[in-house]
Structure 1
Amino acid sequence: MSILSKLFGSKPKAAQVDAPAGKGTSVDHKGFKITPQPLKAEGGYRIAGVIEKDIDGVTKTHNMVRADTLSDLDDAKQATLQKAQVFIDQMGDRIFD
């Protein structure tokens, strides 16, 4: 990094921020499959994951991303599961509308 970049506060490369940090173990909740996939973000990991459900023989998918960031990857995976469960409880199949 050059001295000018340091002085003027250049930002990290886009590939390093909001990049997938790895999948967690999928969990079933009320017929939905939740797969945590936190994103690497500045200062930690952004809560993110995939919610899927088979409806009339077709697999519907919703990519969930939240603004919350946590410093620990395992904490981000656990928080993703919790947020997705609340989202499913509130929205049901309307998630895919």
Structure 2
Amino acid sequence: MGFFSRLFGGKSTTEDPVQVEAVEYKGFNIYQEPVKEGGQYRIAGRITKDFDGELKEHRFIRSDVVASKDDADELMLNKAKMFIDQMGDNIFG
């Protein structure tokens, strides 16, 4: 029900956007941006890479939810690294 209320203008349970420091990994920048939902955190973030002055970005949100922001950040970083290892530059294709 929370998804639909946010989709159609209901009260948002997310916090104000916070400036996130990127974690560099194999030429990619990983931004850990978990989404707070009902006292838990959904694993979310983005991966970016600069290609000759053009910044490419891949955003993702997972179905996984955990109890703490630190756990969500750690899981997001691990999943992003695995995704980069498997896909490389094809992430943006």
TM range (shorter): 0.7 to 0.9
Q: What is the TM-score with the length of structure 1 in the denominator? A: 0.77
Paired residues for 1:1-97 under 5 Å: 11-12=1-2, 14=6, 15-16=12-13, 19=14, 22=18, 24-97=20-93
RMSD over aligned CA atoms reads 1.9
Shift of 1:56: 2.0
Q: Which runs of 4+ in 1 moved over 6 A?
A: none
Deviation at 1:24, TM superposition (A): 4.5
Number of residues of Structure 1 aligned to a counterpart in Structure 2? 85
- Within 2, Cα distance between the matches of 1:22 and 1:76? 15
* Uncovered stretches (5+) of structure 2, i.e. residues with no partner: 7-11
* CA radius of gyration, larger in: 1
Change (3 A) 1:70 1:78: same
TM-score in terms of structure 2 length: 0.80
